Structure 1
Amino acid sequence: MSAEVACYGCMAFFDTPDALVDAVRALRKAGYEGVEAYTPFPLEALGEALGIPGNHVSLGAFIGGLIGGVGMLAMQYFSAVLHYPIRVGGRPFASWPAFIPPALEVTFLLAAAGGVLAMLLGNRLPTFYHPVFHIDRFERASQDAFVLVVCSHSAKRDDATLKSLLQALGAVQVDEVPA
């Protein structure tokens, strides 16, 4: 009694970045939606071919900076004016020039933290497991390989058709990725 192993999709390796981008465009035109690409360096045309929307890193940094700046100013105001008022050198309790340097530092800190958090969430990191890790040659994607993965669940076609299409698009090697 043998159980059939579920298939995540097909993985294709290409020689050049142009071949990878052309294959992505052809697959998207053919109706495949679950297409992922892995390259050792960024390809500007690849993001457009995959239809990747813009990122939210700048929004995350802005929100983090806003929370840091306003939060620090509010904390200093409440502590210096309301909770523990001490008159030092004849200055008013709410001495805004003294509040600016710490507020600026916390603004920078939380803006950077917000940007990093938005980047991690946008990249779906940390990813400790992904089905593509089963293919031994996949580790070359961070060095010199141009890899294309087409998820089976996104395409309503059989794997044999997908494999032949990937080979027709110039794939050097096509592997089935177990789930």
Structure 2
Amino acid sequence: MSALYGLLFEFPTADALLAAVRRARENGCREVDAYSPFSIEGMPAALGFRSHAVQAWTFVGALLGGGGTYFLQWYSAVINFPINVGGRPLHSWPSFIPATFEITVLGAALAALISMLAANGLPRLIHPLFGAPDFDLASRNRFFLCLPASDPTFHAGRSRQMLADLEPIKISEVRR
């Protein structure tokens, strides 16, 4: 028999899922995962989401892209291969702006994409929840809460009892 991954609670509404997340967090659970077919207002705060890593990495990507492009143009036009064209100064910054802007946007977009994928733990092709019964409904019309067994406060019996009075549709044990 394989090891227990966690308990999966299925709820009929978004409000029931939000109440379950709040109850689990109030009872000391720190590793709580919620799955729903659409965004639920208040869910990130209820789950304890506080990270701003994607915004920070997007800013870093923009700075590196823009700064690197401007430096490359300046170095090639002023230091490496200076050409006097029509008496124009070698460091003619207005001509450097279009490419700098474009690569700034590209750097920010790529950094945002990569940091978002990393923050979400993607790509993940195999996950224990994919084999859980009816978990495919999470993308259509059901709301799921997973309490992973890796949480230090997890105990199968107590975790079931903690959320049983919220009347989930189904409680499943998920195995690895």
TM bucket (normalised to shorter chain) is over 0.9
Secondary structure, counterpart of 1:147 in structure 2: strand
C-alpha separation between the residues in 1 aligned to 2:30 and 2:70?
47
Which residue type is aligned with residue 32 of structure 1? Answer: C
C-alpha separation between the residues in 2 aligned to 1:88 and 1:140?
65
Gaps of 5+ in 2: none
RMSD value over aligned CA atoms? 1.5
Secondary structure, counterpart of 2:2 in structure 1: coil
156 and 105 in structure 1: CA distance in 2 versus 1, 3 angstrom threshold: closer
Deviations 1:116-153 (A, max 9, x none): 22221222211122111111311111111100000112
Per the alignment, residue 10 of structure 1 pairs with: 7
Residue 94 of structure 1 and its aligned partner are, at CA, apart by: 1.4
Residue 39 of structure 1 and its aligned partner are, at CA, apart by: 0.6
C-alpha separation between the residues in 1 aligned to 2:120 and 2:144?
17
Which residue type is aligned with residue 37 of structure 1? Answer: A
Within 5 Å, which residues of 2 pair with 1:58-77?
58-77=55-74
Deviations 1:21-63 (A, max 9, x none): 1111111112222211001111121111111113322212211
Q: How many residues align?
A: 176
Within 5 Å, which residues of 2 pair with 1:87-98?
87-98=84-95
Q: Is the 8 A contact 1:11 1:176 kept in 2?
A: yes
With the length of structure 2 as denominator, give the TM-score of the two structures: 0.93
Which residue type is aligned with residue 133 of structure 1? Answer: F
C-alpha separation between the residues in 2 aligned to 1:108 and 1:55?
19
Per the alignment, residue 129 of structure 1 pairs with: 126
Residue 75 of structure 1 and its aligned partner are, at CA, apart by: 0.4
Q: Is the 8 A contact 1:55 1:122 kept in 2?
A: no
With the length of structure 1 as denominator, give the TM-score of the two structures: 0.91
Per the alignment, residue 104 of structure 2 pairs with: 107
